[in-house]
Amino acid sequence: MTTHPRQMTPRSRRRGVLALVVVPSVVVATSMLALYLVVLPLFPAVHQYYFPESTATYATYRVAILGHIVFASVALIVGPINLYNGLRRRHRAAHRRLGTAYAVSVSLAATFALFMSFHAYAGTLPGGRVLITSGLFTLGCVWLATLSLAVRAIAVHHDVDRHSFWMIINISATYSAVLFRLLNGAIVAVGRFEQLYPLLGWLGWVPSVAVGVLLARRHLARRHGRVGTASILSPWWAPGRWTPPLESAARRSG
């Protein structure tokens, strides 16, 4: 007697997304907003216990740090919510408004992140400055590039599939804030913060974006089959030349 693996129902899939993506995103975003906008301004002594190595950087580049925290937190809350299928299908106007707010937030947060990557804590690891700066600067570039591809796909080419593909990857870059905080907590817990923090410049976001790429390809596989997932990547530099497989097949049959 053979058994077949149970497929996830739409309800169980929504619960999984809620538990693994939306809730952690909201928790991290609200925590960072509360810390930087309420706790630290009202109780500066907290800096002696929370990241004391960044006290001078915070004082010097406060506008850039707060700008990044505020806009990244908005993106971290809005992005995962805006991926909800029900919102896209039944409330398209709300989806577009939230998408606009998300795009503006990412644009500003990434710009501040690019600047702050040159002033991030380098730790005591040899080559730490290169690791942390190159990693965070690359993340900022990936964040902006995937957003640009997603916006161009929907605004210029009206290509929903390509738009959703790049948005999933972009939101996975946004979600790296959650992974970064988890790994940061882990290296603090093991007492190796100064030595290991520079590694977060890459480890804090590459796994998240890698998972995002896999999820984006899987999303297209469910919609158009595996031909679609392969073809959407090959001509990404020339979106106008890509035709969804179902549409292409319909044209040939007609």
Per 3-state DSSP, the chain is made up of helix, strand and coil in percentages (nearest 5) of 80, 0, 20
Q: Name the band, by pLDDT with cuts 50, 70 and 90, for residue 220.
A: confident
Tens of pLDDT, residue by residue over 63-121, are 999 999 999 999 999 998 887 765 667 778 888 899 999 999 999 999 999 999 999 99
The HSE-up count of residue 103 (CA atoms within 13 Å, CB side) is 19
The Cα–Cα gap between 117 and 134 comes to: 8
Tens of pLDDT, residue by residue over 167-197, are 999 999 999 999 999 999 999 999 999 999 9
The Cα–Cα gap between 180 and 178 comes to: 5
User: What average pLDDT does this structure show over 47-57?
Assistant: 84
Q: Name the band, by pLDDT with cuts 50, 70 and 90, for residue 135.
A: very high
The Cα–Cα gap between 228 and 230 comes to: 5
The Cα–Cα gap between 136 and 140 comes to: 6
Structure tokens at 59: 């004082």
pLDDT value at residue 115: 97
The Cα–Cα gap between 192 and 143 comes to: 28
Nearest alpha-carbon partner for 183 in 200, 195, 171: 200
pLDDT value at residue 91: 76
pLDDT value at residue 14: 56
Mean pLDDT of the chain: 84
Say if CB 69 and CB 38 are below 8 A apart.
no
Q: pTM of the prediction?
A: 0.82
The whole-angstrom distance between residue 37's C-alpha and the CA centroid of its chain comes to 22
